[in-house]
Structure 1
């Protein structure tokens, strides 16, 4: 298993991995489509990062860091292929985000999620995230906001 920086050839896998988990639990929203159809323009060109988890060269997970106006980074579009869930890959992706956030000089990592995603919430809490009170969001599915100081 290796976690690598996003390359243009990962765009299709980034989109399909995210569409799979979002569609399983929620409805794909306009903001999802906007980011998933143009990760280069919506994430990377704005100072963000995307990491892809590869197993034998095959993408099996991903996560993005979106640069925020306050100097922090939002952890977004994090998912692991169904067959890899429970393997610790989510933790590895989050560790990479924390490492990258520190290297980028971020004061904090922020994320938006849903209270129905128990395993994800457990991971975030284990990685040092704490809940915030409601924040503005473009996602109808979001009902939990969290941050982790760096």
Structure 2
């Protein structure tokens, strides 16, 4: 008998979800890499480092629990937008949650008039790279990145 993936909903970040946001990102980062100073800043105070500059965070909720997160960061200095802090708890991976979150973030970015979104990832994160490519992201020159774990830069024009 085929199993059905649990349904999930995309919700807006609110301060009461801060611990979930931090937990999800801490979980995936420490599984593959190590937390870096920029992670501590962003995860410790998303209001100041993500929301106040004009970005937003979306969360995925399934079975009453927060199981995924993703953010769109705005850099007012160069007017760039970056997809970041994408995370889906390991027990819920492979069910379309990451794709749904990314799609919702890109849809919101389009409504905001954002023309291009970039991201930095790592070549070992094959499922994530597959999702990004499926959503139209293409590899661009890496350039300077703020995370040691960053080995690939991608962009999508909206």
Q: TM-score range by the shorter chain?
A: over 0.9
Q: What is residue 97 of structure 1 aligned with on the other side?
A: 105
TM-fit CA distance, 1:134: 1.7
Alignment of 1:121 with 2:120, yes or no, is: no
Q: Indicate conservation of the 8 Å contact 2:53/2:75, yes or no.
A: no
SS in 1 for 2:143: coil
State the alpha-carbon separation in 2 of the partners of residues 71 and 101 from structure 1: 13
Q: What is residue 2 of structure 1 aligned with on the other side?
A: 9
Residue segments in structure 2 that go unaligned for 5+ positions in a row: 1-7
State the alpha-carbon separation in 1 of the partners of residues 99 and 81 from structure 2: 17
TM-fit CA distance, 1:35: 0.1
TM-fit CA distance, 1:57: 2.9
State the alpha-carbon separation in 2 of the partners of residues 116 and 56 from structure 1: 29
State the alpha-carbon separation in 2 of the partners of residues 88 and 52 from structure 1: 13
Q: What is residue 65 of structure 2 aligned with on the other side?
A: 58
Q: What is residue 47 of structure 2 aligned with on the other side?
A: 40
State the alpha-carbon separation in 1 of the partners of residues 79 and 135 from structure 2: 20
Q: Indicate conservation of the 8 Å contact 1:71/1:106, yes or no.
A: no
Specify which of 15, 20, 24 is matched with residue 31 of structure 2: 24
Q: What is residue 157 of structure 2 aligned with on the other side?
A: 149
| 1:107-148 deviation per Cα after TM superposition (whole angstroms, max 9, x unaligned) | 111100001111111111111000011221110010100000
Give the greater-gyration-radius structure (CA). Answer: 2
TM-score by length of 1: 0.97
Which aligned runs of 4 or more in structure 1 are off by greater than 4 angstroms?
none
State the alpha-carbon separation in 2 of the partners of residues 42 and 52 from structure 1: 17
Q: What is residue 132 of structure 1 aligned with on the other side?
A: 140
RMSD: 1.0
TM-fit CA distance, 1:94: 0.8
